[in-house]
Structure 1
Amino acid sequence: MKLNWKIKASIAAVLIIGAAVYGYQYYQGQQEAKKAAAVETVPVTRMNVKSTVSATGTIKPVNSVEVSSKVTARIKEVLVKENDTVTAGQTIATLDAKDYEEKRNQAQYKVTNTKAKYDRVSYLYSIGAKTQSDLEDAKMNYDTALSSLAESQSNMSEMTIVAPMSGVVVGQPQTAGTMAVQGNSSPTVIMRIADMSSKQILAKVDETDIGNVKVGQSATFTVDSFNGKTFTARVSKISQTDTSNSWNVNTSSSSSSSSSSASVIYYYVTLDVDDPENVLLPAMTARVEINTAEKNDALVVPLSTLKTDTHGSYVIVKNDDGTQENRYVSTGIYSDEYVEILEGLSEGEQVVSTYVAKASTTSSSKKNDRGGPPPM
């Protein structure tokens, strides 16, 4: 009786252990099945890919000029208005010449007076009645008067303002009666003239992207004024210094240098604009996409499948038997959504894309921020 109890206990223990092992294996199998089912894959495929650099810039005419006066005088008459087309040499405004006429008349009188004195002293010197010094003084006075007359005549010629170039009057000109002040630093701008047949974009490109931008690259851009319309342009110039000249320590204080080092560095890129309909206006904001690289029939995978570690870039490949492996790859062109694979994968292979999360009451997503155009 005692022996039968021990046998029964052993049998029960074996059954319990067997059930536990089976249950654990079943649980593990279920978990592996769930994990395998949660894996989403995408095939390695071929398509046309294009890499772009985003930037923001301002549209401006290639050639423009601010018309100002070389003398200080009140504007007498403005002969053109905004949006008028003018040609080089055309009279576009006149200045009040009354004060300069008076100065010219005084200069002319002085020339006549000093000339008569010089002639008289010259005659007296010839008969020994005047000294060499007297003759030289008379000659100097006469030459000074001639110089003053030439200056006043030159000022009189500035009373007529002519267009220095052909183009369109951009903006409202100054009105008659305004005092036009001369000067090198801040003269009065009477009007602005621009050649609107050729325009450019002055764009700011982030230092992380400037190395990919080259002269001659094509670009597309949009402006807020024409929704849904895309314009084309081409890179014509790349500035060799950043927009703030932060590298030049001789022209910036230590505090400004410290501030610049903590901020983003941008470089100016100039693009020639194609505007055959002549609808773009100066100062419009252009959102530019510069085409830096392009390839047809490239081997690609979604950018979201690419991972990196200390050894380089890799993707997770799902083999035919359901196993997974990390495969290191060489990459080429990066577009917004895809990356070109140069080595490491073959067309048709399956790479792990995402894992589907288990159902929950709430969900959230975060977009991968790859940067964008600089602030204006």
Structure 2
Amino acid sequence: MKIDRKFKIAIAAVIIAVGAFGGYHYYQTQQETKQAAAIETADVVRMNLKSTVSATGTIKPVDSVEVSPKITARISQVLVKENDRVSAGQTVATLDGKDYQAQRDQAQFKVTNTQLELERAQKLYDVGAGTKQDLDNAKFNYDTAESALTKADSDLAETVITAPMDGVVVGEPKSVGTMAVQGNSNPTVIMYIANTSQKQILAKVDETDIGQIQIGQDATFTVDTYTGKTFTAHVSKISQTDTSNTWNTTGTASTASSSSSASVIYYYVTLDVDDPNDELRLGMTARVEINTSEKENALVVPIAALKTNDKGSYVLRVTGNGKTEQVPVTTGIYSDEYVEIKSGLNAGDKVSITYNAAKSSSSGNSRRQGPPPM
């Protein structure tokens, strides 16, 4: 009787153990299935990769000039209009010269008088009736009058405004009757003339990208008015100082530097534009992609697969059973979506592109903060 009871208990224990093991195995299988399903993967493939730097700039002419007066007078004639082509030396406007003509006539009259006085003083000196001092004074007065006449002639000539270069009148010139004021700091600009056949882009590049830019690199850009059309350009100049000259801490620049210390630093990059059909207009906003490096048949993974920790860059390679393993990698160039893998993976491998990176043994934060140094 007792033996039968113990036997039954043993049988029940075995059944319970088998059921528990089966349940645990089923649970583990379900969990692994869910985990495998939750992992989004990407293949390690080869493709042609291009690394670019994005920037925004403005279309401007290579050569342009402000036409301003060297004297102050009202504009009496404007002989050209916007979009007219002009040649160097061509008269484009005239200023009211009545006052300058009167000054020139007065200067000429004084030259004539002082010349007569000089001739008289010379004759008197030659016959011993005049002194050397009288002759010197007469010579000084004549020379002074000559200088005044030269200036008057120059001022009168400046009433005729000529084009300093070949080009096109851009924008509307000033109207007749406008007072054209001379000056070094803020002169009146009568008109602008530019060589629109040669254009450039003045682009602003972030300081984190400026080190990748080199003279001669090719670029493409778009403008809003031509949807879907791409233009080409070439890097021709890279500024040595940032757009705000924040390095200059002398004088008033010190305040500007301090106030902008937390701002993003930009550098001007100039690109020569290919525009054979003269489609682009000055002042248009250009969205530029500068090609900084290219590589054919590069081994790549999506950037979303790349992670970093205190030991460097790594990816989570997906094994045959759906599990992941951390694999250190060496990276190369970046595009907008992909990164080159120089070592650590082979074509055909699968990598996880989820962001649940394994924690580092010495650091709990392994979230990627941006492209690691190349």
TM-score normalised over the length of structure 1:
0.90
Does residue 1:78 correspond to 2:71, yes or no?
no
3-state SS of the aligned residue for 1:106?
A: helix
Cα offset for 1:8? 5.0
Which residue pairs with 2:106 in the alignment? 106
Which residue pairs with 2:229 in the alignment? 229
Q: How does 1:359-374 map to 2 (within 5 A)?
A: none
Distance 1:355 1:123 in 2: 106
Does residue 1:315 correspond to 2:315, yes or no?
yes
Conserved 8 A contact 1:46-1:297? yes
Cα offset for 1:214? 0.7
**Greater Cα offset, 300-309 or 244-253:** 244-253
Decide whether aligned partners of structure 1 residues 183 and 253 sit closer, same or farther in structure 2, where only a CA change above 3 A counts.
Answer: closer
Q: Deviations over 1:216-240 (max 9, x none)?
A: 0110111111111111100000000
Q: Deviations over 1:321-374 (max 9, x none)?
A: 544321111111100111111111111112223489xxxxxxxxxxx9979xxx
2:109 counterpart letter in structure 1: Y
Q: How does 1:205-354 map to 2 (within 5 A)?
A: 205-354=205-354
Distance 2:284 2:42 in 1: 42
Cα offset for 1:112? 1.0
Decide whether aligned partners of structure 1 residues 108 and 283 sit closer, same or farther in structure 2, where only a CA change above 3 A counts.
Answer: same
Aligned CA RMSD, in angstroms, stands at 2.2
Cα offset for 1:77? 0.8
Conserved 8 A contact 1:40-1:355? no
Distance 1:71 1:144 in 2: 21
3-state SS of the aligned residue for 2:250?
A: helix
Which residue pairs with 2:90 in the alignment? 90
1:229 counterpart letter in structure 2: K
Q: How many residues of Structure 1 are paired with residues of Structure 2 in the alignment? A: 360
Distance 2:351 2:315 in 1: 7
Cα offset for 1:126? 2.2
Conserved 8 A contact 2:55-2:203? yes
Distance 2:370 2:223 in 1: 22
1:349 counterpart letter in structure 2: D
Decide whether aligned partners of structure 1 residues 254 and 162 sit closer, same or farther in structure 2, where only a CA change above 3 A counts.
Answer: closer
Identity in percent: 64
3-state SS of the aligned residue for 2:283?
A: coil
Conserved 8 A contact 1:111-1:142? yes
3-state SS of the aligned residue for 1:81?
A: coil
Conserved 8 A contact 1:246-1:252? no
Q: How does 1:153-172 map to 2 (within 5 A)?
A: 153-172=153-172
Q: How does 1:23-42 map to 2 (within 5 A)?
A: 23-42=23-42
Which residue pairs with 1:199 in the alignment? 199
TM-score normalised over the length of structure 2:
0.90
Distance 1:99 1:280 in 2: 44
Cα offset for 1:281? 1.0
**Greater Cα offset, 134-143 or 190-199:** 134-143
Conserved 8 A contact 1:314-1:328? yes
Unaligned runs of 5+ in 1: 357-367, 372-376
Which residue pairs with 1:44 in the alignment? 44
Q: Deviations over 1:45-79 (max 9, x none)?
A: 11111111000000000011111111111111111
Q: Deviations over 1:281-338 (max 9, x none)?
A: 1111100000111111111111111111111111111233544321111111100111
1:280 counterpart letter in structure 2: L
Decide whether aligned partners of structure 1 residues 267 and 180 sit closer, same or farther in structure 2, where only a CA change above 3 A counts.
Answer: same
Unaligned runs of 5+ in 2: 357-367
Cα offset for 1:19? 3.1
Cα offset for 1:33? 2.3
